[in-house]
């Protein structure tokens, strides 16, 4: 344990020191070296814990009331700690190159916040005391707020930061209630006293689950608690978006999983609820992603979608626990957990790719880009790997997690209980639709941004991403391939985590696990066959073309004499049929100047898809709240004596109440 704390301490320390380094370049580098060294030190024991399943812990008394410095690294923590350290290190490398664009500013400050963010996420997954947990949680939220508002001269960034701050604290408010009630039932604010919880009433248990779901779900970005996500992710510097979307939102999922491991008597309807929320988040997330024109905003919505997929898996696991169907427990949780790891990798890869595009062209708008594959070949190649992976296509890592989810659903659909078939068949259908739309969304991003002809001079004059950014992207892309091929090795490491969430491990479970492993082995073998076959075909094609001339010509233009790049399909036109089909949920707004006469001078079309829940759910609520609070303004005179009087009155009331 002390090794890990040393590593985390190193990350914090280098962050602090980098505050005092004047030179922008060396301060980011120093911070990044700290993150990498600290991660290397800490990741070794984490891998050991994950492989052996033996938890390590440390408990030191603390001056804080009800608090203790109680940290533990068990399988669940290790599974989340490893991506945190890995992605933060990759993002730190990327940040060295990315932040050079701001080298006339004091970069010590964002470096400091970045390192603290990494360390606080590590503490979140290890904390076993409510006070310590909430402290780490709050540090994580605040450091990421300061990182989101890095570009604070833009009005939109300040607005995004504000939305993020409000959302995260509403979430924390629910967590506060959750921990107080939990502490009340278990008699201590340490998490391990959960054995006391065995006597808890089912209703109270459900209440706790709902509190945790809202509190942690806000961080995870479950629809409709996701509103901060599409605002904050585009605003943050890209390596920060990579960390926020790749691992920080997973802290919400960590919280939900930790809660499930603590709470006794899991009910069937929790699973239904999670599957339902997962389907809603997944479907609406990808539909909104499809309707966006801003790459980073689109990626943020796609994170909502992937959180949905993870929730579907968790929900299946819960349904499995509540109904005693172990195959669903194994495959649901294993799929969800694998998808957590996989999403952290490919989503940070895609955000880093989007950052490189922003860096080189100065714009995030897809419709202003195009043809970047010629200018940024490395970024394009890494990005397409990320895109294939996030669509869940074989032979990359994204397929593995989704395969387990599908397989679990199919097996449950074969079981006897019709009550189980409805959610699982729903999950199958939802996963299929989500997969189809994800393919639409990511072929769109890659096709419109990287392929075709440049639409503007910004895109035509783009420059390559610098070395650090390319290295970081290639590491992430390499991980997508490696995990895709090494899945059978990773699955055994996940099993202890599942048995910690659901203590149902029996012989049948072991049989399912070995069955899953066998399937993954077959898939990996098939993937290798795929690669060999592709290589053979490439060679065949090469032989066929060896002595032939490859002619060059313009693209077929249907006989039209003067095509321009502006005539290409744009991101809006590509997704228009789908967006139109779902106009009843998306509420896209468009502005059109229609063609009126025979020789029209101008025609125009513009579409914009704002977030429905922030427009129609939160805006009205917050406007009411604003109105009510403005009526209460008379309480706050700004006279200090008055406030002292308030304090005195409150104390007297408390005293009287206590005396009674």
Partner 1 sequence: MTNIAIMIIQPVIAMLLAPMLLGVINRVKAFFAGRRGQPLLQPYYDLWRLLHKGVVYSTTTSWVFKIAPVICLTAIILTAFIVPLGGGRSLLSFNGDLIFAAYLLGLMRFFIVIGALDTGSSFEGMGASREVQFSALAEPALFIALAAMARQTSSVSLSGIFSAVTPQMWTSNCATPLLTAAAMIIVLLTENARIPVDDPNTHLELTMIHEVMVLDNSGPDFAFILYGSALKLWIFAAILVGMLLPMNQMPLWISIPAAVAAVFAVSVFIGIVESCMARFRLISVPNLLFTSISLAILSLVFALRN
Choose which of 558, 639, 656, 659 interacts with partner 1 (CB under 8 A). 558
Nearest CB to partner 1, comparing residues 237 and 435: 435
- Cβ atoms 285, 223 nearer than 8 A: yes
Give the integer Cα–Cα distance in Å for 628 and 637. Answer: 17
Label the pairing between strands 589-593 and 604-608.
antiparallel
Of 74-82, 182-190, 244-252, 565-573, the segment contacting partner 1 by CB under 8 A is 565-573
3-state SS, 133-186, equals HHHHHHHHHHHHHHHHHHHCCCHHHHHHHHHHHHHHHHHHHHHHHHHHHHHHHH
Instruction: Determine if 565 is a binding residue for partner 1 (CB under 8 A).
Output: yes
Give the integer Cα–Cα distance in Å for 252 and 433. Answer: 25
Of 135-143, 252-260, 268-276, 573-581, the segment contacting partner 1 by CB under 8 A is 573-581
The residues pairing with 71 across neighbouring beta strands, listed in sequence order, are: 58, 127
- Alpha-carbon torsion angle 300, 304, 307, 313, nearest 10: -140
Give the per-residue contact string, 414-443, with partner 1 (x = CB under 8 A; - = no): x---x--x---x--xx-xxx-xxx-xx-xx
Choose which of 103, 264, 457, 557 interacts with partner 1 (CB under 8 A). 557
How would you label 477-510 residue by residue, b for 16+ Cβ within 10 Å and e otherwise? bebbbebbbebbebbebbbbbbbbbbebbeeebe
Nearest CB to partner 1, comparing residues 150 and 399: 399
Question: Looking only at residues 577 through 606 of this chain, which bind partner 1 when binding is defined by CB under 8 A?
Answer: 577-578, 581
Of 106-114, 214-222, 470-478, 553-561, the segment contacting partner 1 by CB under 8 A is 553-561
Alpha-helix residue ranges (DSSP H) falling in 263-325: 268-291, 295-323
Give the integer Cα–Cα distance in Å for 384 and 548. Answer: 30
Give the integer Cα–Cα distance in Å for 332 and 319. Answer: 9
Instruction: Determine if 487 is a binding residue for partner 1 (CB under 8 A).
Output: no
If you ran DSSP here, which 8-state letter would residue 633 be given? G
Give the per-residue contact string, 333-372, with partner 1 (x = CB under 8 A; - = no): -------------------------------------xx-
Nearest CB to partner 1, comparing residues 66 and 540: 540
- Cβ atoms 175, 261 nearer than 8 A: no
Q: In which residue are the tokens 């002595």 written?
A: 547
Of 27-35, 159-167, 184-192, 384-392, the segment contacting partner 1 by CB under 8 A is 384-392
Give the per-residue contact string, 25-54, with partner 1 (x = CB under 8 A; - = no): ------------------------------
Least CB distance to partner 1 at residue 601 (A): 21
DSSP per-residue codes, 53-73:
---EEEEEE-SSTT-EEEEEE
Interface with partner 1 (CB under 8 A), residue total 81
Give the integer Cα–Cα distance in Å for 109 and 101. Answer: 15
Least CB distance to partner 1 at residue 135 (A): 44
Question: Looking only at residues 387 through 406 of this chain, which bind partner 1 when binding is defined by CB under 8 A?
Answer: 387-388, 391-394, 399, 402-403, 406
Instruction: Determine if 481 is a binding residue for partner 1 (CB under 8 A).
Output: no
Residue 8 CB contacts under 8 Å (≥ 6 apart), including other chains: 38, 42, 119, 122, 123
Choose which of 568, 588, 609, 614 interacts with partner 1 (CB under 8 A). 568
Least CB distance to partner 1 at residue 614 (A): 26
Q: Maximum distance among all alpha carbons in the chain?
A: 100
Give the integer Cα–Cα distance in Å for 528 and 304. Answer: 32
Residue 107 CB contacts under 8 Å (≥ 6 apart), including other chains: 24, 25, 27, 28, 99
Nearest CB to partner 1, comparing residues 44 and 567: 567
Q: What length is written for the chain?
A: 660
Nearest CB to partner 1, comparing residues 99 and 440: 440
Instruction: Determine if 555 is a binding residue for partner 1 (CB under 8 A).
Output: yes
Instruction: Determine if 576 is a binding residue for partner 1 (CB under 8 A).
Output: yes
Residue 464 CB contacts under 8 Å (≥ 6 apart), including other chains: 360, 375, 376, 378, 379, 470
Nearest CB to partner 1, comparing residues 451 and 504: 451
Choose which of 38, 224, 452, 496 interacts with partner 1 (CB under 8 A). 452
Question: Looking only at residues 140 through 179 of this chain, which bind partner 1 when binding is defined by CB under 8 A?
Answer: none
Instruction: Determine if 313 is a binding residue for partner 1 (CB under 8 A).
Output: no
- Cβ atoms 76, 501 nearer than 8 A: yes
Nearest CB to partner 1, comparing residues 501 and 524: 524
SS3 state of residue 127: strand
The total of other beta-carbon atoms located within 10 Å of residue 573's CB is 14
Of 26-34, 270-278, 334-342, 523-531, the segment contacting partner 1 by CB under 8 A is 523-531
Q: Say what angle helices 397-413 and 418-450 make with each other, to 10 degrees.
A: 160
Nearest to 250 by CA among 175, 169, 310, 313: 310
- Cβ atoms 227, 621 nearer than 8 A: no
Q: Say what angle helices 75-98 and 108-126 make with each other, to 10 degrees.
A: 170
Give the per-residue contact string, 180-209, with partner 1 (x = CB under 8 A; - = no): ------------------------------
Q: In which residue are the tokens 């006391």 written?
A: 196
- Cβ atoms 608, 575 nearer than 8 A: no
Instruction: Determine if 545 is a binding residue for partner 1 (CB under 8 A).
Output: yes
Question: Looking only at residues 525 through 544 of this chain, which bind partner 1 when binding is defined by CB under 8 A?
Answer: 526, 529-530, 533-534, 537-538, 541, 544
Of 98-106, 128-136, 383-391, 626-634, the segment contacting partner 1 by CB under 8 A is 383-391
Instruction: Determine if 407 is a binding residue for partner 1 (CB under 8 A).
Output: yes
Nearest to 492 by CA among 517, 515, 527, 509: 517
Instruction: Determine if 243 is a binding residue for partner 1 (CB under 8 A).
Output: no
Tokens, residue 313? 């898996």
Of 139-147, 200-208, 250-258, 373-381, the segment contacting partner 1 by CB under 8 A is 373-381
Nearest CB to partner 1, comparing residues 132 and 380: 380
Of 171-179, 408-416, 464-472, 480-488, the segment contacting partner 1 by CB under 8 A is 408-416
Instruction: Determine if 573 is a binding residue for partner 1 (CB under 8 A).
Output: yes
Choose which of 63, 553, 602, 641 interacts with partner 1 (CB under 8 A). 553
Give the per-residue contact string, 256-275, with partner 1 (x = CB under 8 A; - = no): --------------------
Instruction: Determine if 254 is a binding residue for partner 1 (CB under 8 A).
Output: no
Choose which of 15, 217, 447, 484 interacts with partner 1 (CB under 8 A). 447
């Amino acid at each position: 344990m002390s090794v890990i704390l040393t590593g985390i301490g190193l990350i914090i320390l280098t962050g602090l020191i980098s505050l005092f380094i004047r030179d922008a370049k060396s301060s980011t580098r120093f911070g990044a070296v700290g993150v990498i060294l600290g991660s290397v030190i800490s990741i070794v024991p984490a891998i050991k814990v994950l492989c052996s399943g033996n938890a390590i812990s440390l408990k030191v008394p603390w001056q804080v009331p009800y608090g203790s410095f109680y940290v533990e690294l068990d399988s669940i923590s290790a599974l989340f700690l490893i991506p945190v350290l890995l992605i933060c290190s990759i993002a730190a490398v990327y940040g060295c190159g990315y932040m050079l664009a701001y080298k006339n500013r004091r970069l010590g400050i964002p470096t400091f916040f970045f390192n603290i963010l990494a360390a606080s996420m590590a503490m979140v997954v290890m904390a076993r005391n409510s006070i310590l947990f909430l402290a780490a949680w709050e540090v994580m939220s605040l450091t990421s707020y300061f990182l989101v508002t890095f570009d604070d001269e833009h009005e939109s960034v300040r607005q995004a930061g504000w939305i993020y701050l409000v959302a995260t604290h509403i979430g924390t408010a629910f967590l506060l209630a959750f921990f107080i009630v939990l502490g009340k039932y278990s008699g201590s604010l340490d998490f391990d006293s959960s054995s006391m919880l065995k006597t808890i009433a089912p209703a109270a248990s459900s209440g706790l689950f709902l509190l945790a779901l809202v509190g942690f779900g806000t961080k995870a970005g479950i629809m409709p608690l996701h509103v901060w996500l599409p605002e904050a992710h585009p605003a943050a510097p890209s390596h920060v978006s990579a960390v926020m979307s790749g691992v920080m939102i997973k802290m919400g999922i960590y919280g939900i999983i930790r809660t499930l491991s603590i709470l006794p008597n899991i009910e069937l309807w929790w699973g239904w609820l999670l599957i339902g929320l997962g389907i809603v988040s997944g479907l609406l997330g990808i539909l909104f992603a499809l309707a966006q024109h801003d790459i980073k905003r689109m990626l943020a919505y796609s994170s909502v979608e992937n959180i949905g997929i993870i929730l579907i898996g968790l929900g299946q696991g819960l349904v499995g626990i509540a109904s005693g169907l172990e195959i669903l427990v194994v495959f649901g949780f294993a799929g969800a957990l694998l998808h957590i790891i996989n999403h952290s990798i490919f989503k940070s890869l895609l955000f880093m790719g989007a950052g490189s595009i922003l860096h080189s062209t100065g714009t995030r708008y897809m419709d202003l880009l195009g043809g970047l594959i010629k200018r940024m070949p490395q970024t394009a190649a890494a990005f397409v790997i990320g895109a294939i992976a996030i669509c869940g296509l074989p032979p990359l890592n994204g397929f593995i997690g989704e395969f387990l989810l599908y397989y679990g659903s199919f097996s449950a659909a074969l079981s006897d209980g019709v009550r189980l078939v409805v959610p699982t068949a729903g999950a199958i259908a939802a996963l299929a639709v989500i997969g189809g739309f994800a393919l639409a969304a990511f072929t769109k991003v890659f096709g419109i941004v990287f392929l075709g002809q440049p639409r503007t001079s910004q895109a035509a004059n783009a420059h390559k991403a610098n070395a650090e950014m390319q290295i970081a992207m290639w590491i992430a892309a390499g991980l997508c391939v490696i995990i895709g091929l090494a899945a059978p090795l990773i699955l055994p490491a996940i099993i202890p985590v599942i048995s910690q969430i659901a203590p149902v491990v029996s012989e049948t479970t072991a049989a399912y696990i070995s069955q899953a492993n066998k399937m993954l082995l077959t898939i990996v073998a098939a993937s290798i066959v795929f690669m060999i076959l592709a290589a053979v075909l490439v060679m065949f094609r090469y032989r066929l073309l060896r002595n032939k001339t490859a002619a060059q010509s313009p693209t077929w233009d249907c006989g039209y004499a003067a095509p321009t790049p502006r005539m290409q399909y744009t991101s809006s036109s590509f997704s228009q049929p789908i967006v139109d089909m779902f106009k009843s949920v998306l509420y896209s707004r468009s502005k059109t100047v229609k063609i009126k006469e025979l020789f029209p001078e101008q025609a125009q079309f513009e579409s914009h898809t704002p977030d429905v829940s922030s427009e129609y759910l939160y805006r009205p609520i917050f406007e009411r709240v604003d109105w009510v609070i403005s009526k209460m303004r008379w309480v706050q005179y700004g006279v200090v004596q008055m406030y002292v009087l308030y304090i005195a009155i409150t104390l007297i009331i408390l005293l009287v109440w206590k005396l009674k």
